[in-house]
Amino acid sequence: MQESKDTLYGIYPVLEALKAGEKPEKILIKKGLSGFNVAEILRICKETETVVQEVPVEKLDRTVRGNHQGIVAFMSPVELLKAEETIDALLREKTDPMVLVLDRVTDVRNFGALCRTAECAGFDAVIVPAKGAARIGADAVKSSAGAMHLIRIARSSHLRNTLKYLSDKGFDVIGCTEKTEDDLFDLQVGSKVALVLGSEETGIAPENLKFCNKRARIPMFGKIGSLNVSAAGAVAMYEIVRIKRPRSSENA
């Protein structure tokens, strides 16, 4: 049972929230549900690019205890931005933005920990896919120690297009992956950086990895051959910061 304070259900409550300008992270709707108000909900969701997923009624019954009337909305406790608009805004604000891109990281605790590290390391935004990502709810905010309120969270409808957009805008799009011989500690980066991390199970999806214009692996010196994605992300983010950080005259 996922019901919590960031879960809204029922046709009228969801419709009124949408009319008031609220933008849910995702809406689950019963397959075949129809009616004037349902059509209005779908119209607003299309205009605002809100993710809508048709599901069997059994899934809705498992999600909330109350009378959901065939619709459940997951409300985000943080503002969710559009990926390309966020990239453009960062480029207007600074010459050396750093962006973290998460490809199908679905564990809420890993997601929160990565957002926390990104904020601590001075990254400017976290980009996630609209589908196949961890829930951006109260649990994620708690896992991030509140960092999700301090760093921009943006969603991408098509992650491969966003990665290409980053590359076209001059970013070094770095795929952190074992599928390369290039060592993270030999990495060279420019002023604009986008670090891409994949799911713990399968890593970065092949269709997304091909849009990474640089790749780097974290060297392993022990008997265990891999790191948890949040640990790997922390290593990679701070190595990028170390590379980019200007050296003082005393250390030059």
pTM given for the model:
0.87
CATH number of the domain to which 87 belongs: 3.40.1280.10
Phi, psi of 219 (to 5 degrees): -65, 140
CB 30 within 8 A of CB 59: no
**CATH label of the domain that carries residue 21:** 3.30.1330.30
Q: Could you tell me if residue 59 is inside a domain? A: yes
User: Based on the domain organization, do 50 and 154 belong to the same domain?
Assistant: no
Predicted local confidence at residue 103, as pLDDT: 97
The answer to whether position 223 is within a domain reads yes
Taking only the tens place, the pLDDT of each residue in 151-181 is 999 999 999 999 999 999 999 999 999 999 9
pLDDT of residue 247: 52
Residues in the chain with pLDDT values less than 70: 1-5, 247-252
Report the DSSP pairing between strands 26-30 and 71-74: antiparallel
CB atoms inside a 10 Å sphere around CB 167: 16
pLDDT (0 to 100) of residue 5: 62
Which structural domain range is residue 11 located in? Answer: 7-74
pLDDT at 248: 41
For CA atoms 17, 72, 7, 87, give the dihedral sign.
Answer: negative
Verify that 53 and 107 share a domain, yes or no.
no
Q: Are residues 154 and 100 in the same domain?
A: yes
The two three-digit tokens of residue 121, written as one number: 């390391």
User: Looking at the 3D structure of the chain, how many domains does it have?
Assistant: 2
Q: How far apart are the first and last CA of the chain?
A: 57
Looking at the fold, whether 138 and 99 belong to one and the same domain comes out as: yes
Mark residue 32 as left, alpha or beta (left: phi above 0; alpha: psi -120 to 50; beta: remaining). left
Model pLDDT, residue 225: 82
**What's the confidence (pLDDT) of residue 4?**
57
For residue 205, what pLDDT is reported?
Answer: 96
Q: How far apart are CA 152 and CA 113, in angstroms?
A: 15
